[in-house]
Amino acid sequence: MEVSVVSADEFVSWGCPYCGYAYSAQMLTHEPSGACINHCVNCGEGFIVVPEGMNQAPFSIDGRSFTLMQHPRQGIPHWNLQTEGN
Ligand SMILES: [Zn+2]
């Protein structure tokens, strides 16, 4: 399973790396780094959001580490049900 890792700034701009939805549920926050595992409330995919300047998730899962990637939806503004309905 591939887990996307995006920066906090890019998440704010482009939303979920899979569908672009603006909102996600924070399942787990890593302290004190602030990195968190998110769960998109639209498509249900999980991904990791890391603070600016961090290029890898500060934790591993099952021995795997997760490296920051370019947001796959760069340039496509996030959306939510409010803006979509207009
Ligand atoms: Zn999504």
* Per-residue pLDDT, 54: 96
* 24-74 pLDDT tens trace: 999 999 999 999 999 999 999 999 999 999 999 999 989 999 999 999 999
Strand arrangement of the beta sheet that strand 46-50 belongs to: 4-7, 46-50, 36-40, 24-29
Domain that holds residue 15: 1-53
* Residue 85 forms part of a structural domain: no
* Per-residue pLDDT, 61: 85
All residues at 6 or more sequence positions from 2 whose CB lies less than 8 Å from its CB, including other chains: none
* Residue 38 forms part of a structural domain: yes
Tell me the CA–centroid distance for residue 41 and ligand 1, in Å. Answer: 7
Who has greater pLDDT, 56 or 81?
A: 56
Per mean pLDDT, which range of 16-20, 29-33, 80-84 is the poorest? 80-84
Using a 10 angstrom Cβ sphere, with 0-12 exposed, 13-18 middle and 19 or more buried, the burial of residue 81 is exposed
Q: How far apart, in whole angstroms, are the C-alpha atoms of residue 12 and residue 77?
A: 9
Who has greater pLDDT, 71 or 84?
A: 71
Tell me the CA–centroid distance for residue 85 and ligand 1, in Å. Answer: 17
* Residue 83 forms part of a structural domain: no
Kindly list the protein residues that place their beta carbon closer than 5 angstroms to ligand 1, a single-atom ion.
Answer: 16, 18-19, 21, 40, 42-43
> Based on the structure, what is the number of domains in the chain?
1
Tell me the CA–centroid distance for residue 45 and ligand 1, in Å. Answer: 6
Tell me the CA–centroid distance for residue 40 and ligand 1, in Å. Answer: 5
